[in-house]
Amino acid sequence: MDKAAFVNLYDYVFWADRRFMDCVDALTEEQFRQHIDFSQGAISEHLVHLLGVEYWWIHFLRTGELDFFQEEVYSWSREQLREKQAEVEREIRAYLDTLTPEELQRRVKPDFWDEDEEPIAVWQALLQIANHSTDHRAQAMAIMHTQFGAPTFGQDYLSFLAGNT
């Protein structure tokens, strides 16, 4: 894997994140905040979790330090979360610009992982972040569609390619 492959992968992630946010905007405030007894809870909590994981992983890869979103982020408006989404995208793109073959092979292990968990390569962390985001978008969109009748979209990578070729 090389830098260009990850730039393309994250173009997909950002495309899907923005389209997901468009779907979230169709919800009422009550629907956005309604507790759901599944995964991360409310759609607002799914969104914060998705963005938070994208952010902390990239921050960790860049600096070696853990930096998690603070509790107040969970009460932010959708507009504030859109601004945070744009900020996270800028930070990820800046990190991707620095990728080298050596950086992609560098081994990392967050401090909170169990002692017996092995470090992973940066390229594996980058795949994890993208996969994690896809997983939570899919969970949230299923909830949004079945419980609230909200619009959703096909977030398949091929859908991204078809719209961007």
Report all structural domains of the chain as residue ranges with CATH numbers, in order of start: 3-163 (1.20.120.450)
> What's the Rg (C-alpha) of the chain?
16
For residues 88 and 141, give the distance between their C-alpha atoms in angstroms, rounded to a whole number: 21
pTM of the model: 0.92
CB atoms within 10 A of CB 61: 19
Please list, in sequence order, all residues whose beta carbon lies within 8 angstroms of the beta carbon of residue 117, skipping any fewer than 6 positions away: 109
Given a contact cutoff of 8 angstroms between Cβ atoms, the answer to whether 49 and 40 are in contact is yes
Query: Using one digit for the tens of pLDDT, what is the confidence trace for 107-159?
Result: 999 999 999 999 999 999 999 999 999 999 999 999 999 999 999 998 989 98
- Taking only the tens place, the pLDDT of each residue in 58-69 is 999 999 999 888
Under a CB-based contact definition with an 8 Å cutoff, are residues 17 and 85 in contact?
A: yes
